[in-house]
A and B are shown apart, each in its own frame.
Chain A
Amino acid sequence: MHERSKIYLYSIIFLIAAVVSDSNYSRAGENEAHKINGNIKTPVINYAVMCEGVKNHEPVNKATVFSVVKKKVFCFTDFNVVPEKTHIYHRWYREDKPAAKVKLKLQPPRWSTFSSIQLRESDIGPWRVEVTDQNGYVFYILRFSITN
């Protein structure tokens, strides 16, 4: 195989891997993701997941059901396009009732960030986190449960 052909092949494999990797994260989230409008100054979310922890800027043990024994649950969001310095919110709801609202900053050009809540026995039940911008525009909705 020629050197040039090898370069092409590696490039294609890399692109496919990147696409598959992105689509996996999307599936792990919620199919309610909102399409981003054409405004160039709007951040573009790459993926959002619920997880048991964050290590080296990566989510650990992505899941949709969390035991209250773990004491903490994390919402991790990754924005692959951040045109300018801005803020987003993680709005936590337990059974449609607001439980927490966390303001998080985003820095260009790309940014990952997360929020977490402490778990208590009374938190058992269905939850959701809405990832929104400062105007309430919903980037993503994550649904999960806290159990025993």
Chain B
Amino acid sequence: MNDLLLFFSNLRWQDIIDISFISYILFRFYVLFRGTNTFRVLAGIICLWFFQRIAFSIGLILTSLAIQGITAVGALIIIVIFRHEIRSVFQTKNLRTILWGFPRRNQITHFEIIEEAVIKLTENSLGAILVFPGKEDLTEFVQGGIALNGLLSREIIESIFWKDNPVHDGAIIIEGDRIVDVGAILPLTHQQDLPSKYGTRHRAALGLAEQTDALVIVVSEERRSVAAVKGSQIEPLHERENLTRVLRDHSGEGAEENSGRKEKIEFSAAALISFITISMIWFSFTSGRDMLTTLDVPVNYINRSPEMEIVDVSLNSIRLHLSGAGALLKSIGPEHLQVKADLGKGIVGKNTVFIDSEDIVLPPGIKLDKIDPSNIEITLDKIIKKEMPVQVNWTGKLDDRLILVEIKTEPSKVAVSGSMLRLNKLATIYTREVSLNNIRRSGKKTVELLVDETLTVEPDSDISVQVSFVVEKRDM
């Protein structure tokens, strides 16, 4: 009980949104896909996954692996085989229906028009197949067909099935008060034991009715009879009232009130189950026995001034000691965590950046216990320009009788650009070695400056300097 109270007291508003949002998505999937084959196969896959977890937990390794494989393939199969059904769910519904609407049953067909049309067809000895889809999509089962999408009328039905009409052999599909398709080819039934009185039209009607929840009305050309085909049953309709009853039953008009109440209960139950399921999943992730772990997370340096360069860091990653639910901790890696080192106040040279809990981004439900180490030494540098005096680097030996009393370089200073840390240690730019061995009198020399590859002599400064020197005789 205490644990339960503790759990609810630790519940954050983000957690409630988290659970509610995912529960709603699950509920919407149910609403959109209920009654479809996809939903049934998906439910089967979820059951398989559940069995796989049980098999794994009790140590049935091979069974667990086999079910896991089947589940993985099954998920792929759903997408491939039921692609049309999935597409039709999203394509035929607008955004409002997908997000919060509830699919309505097909509108009540204008039964009288159909009844009159069927009577006229039988009177004129015209064969016909009229398909009234249920909740299931027929795209998978119906081939050919020409989209008409015309308003339903007795005359149109008659003219479609008139013998000279090129599409009179196919079926028409009626949705609400519209004829959606004409000349549709239906799959034939595989039943071998059909009575001989039933011809190809009946076989086609039965083929579709067996595989879907559609109602098919067949008008026989030879016997001038009418039959309703639903599921695997063929029901001869001798009276007009019978046709009315069949059509009304199929459209659900008679049971409208009851079915509306049932639907409300069904949706409420689905919403509740979705919420409970997601809550349980969330609970299993965020609670349970606490676990401890350590992760080495790379440091993300932020707010670095564009002119600054990082030239050295004492370490590349920080070790975080974390605690939380085992399931959560197992599912996270260094890529889910972020350690930020703020270089906004960094200066050229060595900087010590302290890392505290505010610099660490953790997934929800994870607790930070320790940061190791909690500071990083970072050396920053930037490119600067510095003007430095030039000094001649004399070598060799001057004649003992001479003395070099004065040296001048032209220019006396040069501008050099390079790393600030490097240039701060330099006070002089030296020339290449200049030999004293052959100097007998005052003179001038052009000498190159000695600048290493990390430094650049500024374009307006010359890499060479003119050295003037004054030599005098030594007082012996």
- Footprint of B on A, CB under 8 Å? 27-28, 31-32, 61-65, 67, 93, 95-96, 124-126, 128, 141, 143, 145, 147-148
Question: Which of B393, B394, B430: most chain A Cβ within 10 A?
Answer: B394
User: Roughly how many angstroms separate A124 CA and B397 CA in the complex, as a whole number?
Assistant: 11
From residue B213, how far is it (CB to closest CB) to chain A in Å? 93
Residue contact A126 to B393, C-beta cutoff 8 Å: yes
**Shortest Cβ distance from B469 into A: residue:** A64
Residue contact B425 to A64, C-beta cutoff 8 Å: no
From residue B248, how far is it (CB to closest CB) to chain A in Å? 105
Question: Which of A27, A64, A96, A124: most chain B Cβ within 10 A?
Answer: A64
Question: Which of B397, B400, B412: most chain A Cβ within 10 A?
Answer: B397
Q: Is B292's beta carbon under 8 Å from chain A?
A: no
Residue contact A143 to B391, C-beta cutoff 8 Å: yes
Task: Classify the secondary structure of A's interface with B.
Answer: strand
**Number of B residues with CB within 8 Å of any CB on chain A:** 24
Q: Is B398's beta carbon under 8 Å from chain A?
A: yes
Contact (A63, B397) CB under 8 Å given A32-B389, A96-B425: no
From residue B142, how far is it (CB to closest CB) to chain A in Å? 92
User: Roughly how many angstroms separate A146 CA and B394 CA in the complex, as a whole number?
Assistant: 8
User: Roughly how many angstroms separate A113 CA and B356 CA in the complex, as a whole number?
Assistant: 58
Q: Is B405's beta carbon under 8 Å from chain A?
A: yes
Q: Is B232's beta carbon under 8 Å from chain A?
A: no
Interface residues of B in 365-406 (CB under 8 A from A): 389, 391-398, 400, 403-406
Contact (A65, B391) CB under 8 Å given A96-B427, A147-B436: no
From residue B87, how far is it (CB to closest CB) to chain A in Å? 77
**Shortest Cβ distance from B425 into A: residue:** A96
Known contacts A67-B398, A147-B436; can you find 17 more A-B pairs with CB under 8 A? A27-B406, A61-B403, A61-B475, A93-B427, A95-B428, A96-B426, A96-B428, A124-B395, A126-B391, A126-B428, A128-B427, A128-B428, A141-B389, A143-B428, A145-B394, A147-B395, A147-B398
Among A27, A65, A93, which residue has its beta carbon within 8 angstroms of that of B394? A65
**Shortest Cβ distance from B390 into A: residue:** A143
User: Roughly how many angstroms separate A31 CA and B187 CA in the complex, as a whole number?
Assistant: 107
Chain B residue numbers with a CB within 8 Å of A61 are: 403, 474-475
User: Roughly how many angstroms separate A125 CA and B425 CA in the complex, as a whole number?
Assistant: 18
Task: Mark interface residues in B410-438 (1 if CB within 8 Å of A CB, else 0).
Answer: 00100000000000011110100000100
User: Roughly how many angstroms separate A128 CA and B406 CA in the complex, as a whole number?
Assistant: 14
Question: Which of A64, A65, A96, A143: most chain B Cβ within 10 A?
Answer: A65
